[in-house]
Structure 1
Amino acid sequence: MHAERQVRVYSRGGCEVVQLIGEIDHATASLVERDVLVSVRAASGVVVDLTETTFLDSAGLRCLDRVVAAFGDRGAPVRVAAPADGMVRFTLELIGFLPDLLVEDVGTAMTGMTN
């Protein structure tokens, strides 16, 4: 699958929402990372939406970590939306991925951006 089919970016409530779709793995992670960072140049806040992400391997986790760090370096607050009952959320919690950034859905993430 090409990365352009795995990355959807849209504006909501003054922030950019980056939706990652499907499997983010060794075959696609570098393309996904590039597409995300090129698509979102400047934003007052960024939500990385993993609600449609079905799998993250170690390359996908590194991709997510680099994307979150890049937005942080740009001064944009970041939240990561991953459903509590999903395998992706389980994986993120298992590795201890920035628990203060994790929320269950995009709506909750948007609320967190205004606090």
Structure 2
Amino acid sequence: MTAANRITVTVERGSEVVRLHGDVDHVNADQVEREVLTATRAAASVVVDLSAVTFLDSAGLRCLDRLVAAFTKRQAQVRVVAPEDGVVRFTLDLIGFLPETLASTLDEALRGLGH
């Protein structure tokens, strides 16, 4: 599966919502990062939804960190959705990943962006 098959982008309540699917790992993390940045280049606010991510290794974590940094650098608001009971959320909590960006649901993330 290509990174393109792992990424869907929609607009919801004025924000670009990027849904990642499947594994984000050393095999595809660089491509995922490029495609997300390309798809959201003009976005003023972005939600990265990891609800359908089944595996996130260290390359996936670096990808996520670089995405958040890129959005922040261009002054786009950003939130990351990772359900409380998911493996990805456990990993993000374990490493202390930017708690101010995390949300448990898409609705919570969009509310956090002021929508």
TM-score bracket for the superposition, by shorter chain length: over 0.9
SS of 2:64 mapped into structure 1:
helix
Map 1:102-113; keep pairs closer than 5 Å.
102-113=102-113
Alpha-carbon separation, structure 1, partners of 2:34 and 2:79? 19
Name the counterpart of 1:38. Answer: 38
Amino acid at match of 1:96: G
Following superposition, the deviation at residue 76 of structure 1 comes to 0.6
Q: CA RMSD in A?
A: 0.9
Alpha-carbon separation, structure 1, partners of 2:100 and 2:88? 16
Name the counterpart of 2:98. Answer: 98
Deviating 4+ runs (over 3 angstroms): none
Name the counterpart of 1:21. Answer: 21
State percent identity of aligned pairs. Answer: 57
SS of 1:71 mapped into structure 2:
helix
Following superposition, the deviation at residue 74 of structure 1 comes to 1.1
Name the counterpart of 2:85. Answer: 85
Alpha-carbon separation, structure 2, partners of 1:44 and 1:13? 12
Amino acid at match of 1:12: E
Following superposition, the deviation at residue 42 of structure 1 comes to 1.2
Alpha-carbon separation, structure 2, partners of 1:112 and 1:69? 18
Amino acid at match of 2:62: R
Aligned length: 115
- 1:8 is aligned to 2:8: yes
Amino acid at match of 2:54: T
The structure that is strand-richer by fraction is 2
The two structures have a TM-score, normalised by structure 2, of: 0.97
Following superposition, the deviation at residue 29 of structure 1 comes to 0.3
Name the counterpart of 1:69. Answer: 69
Q: Unaligned 5+ residue runs, structure 1?
A: none
Amino acid at match of 1:38: T
The two structures have a TM-score, normalised by structure 1, of: 0.97
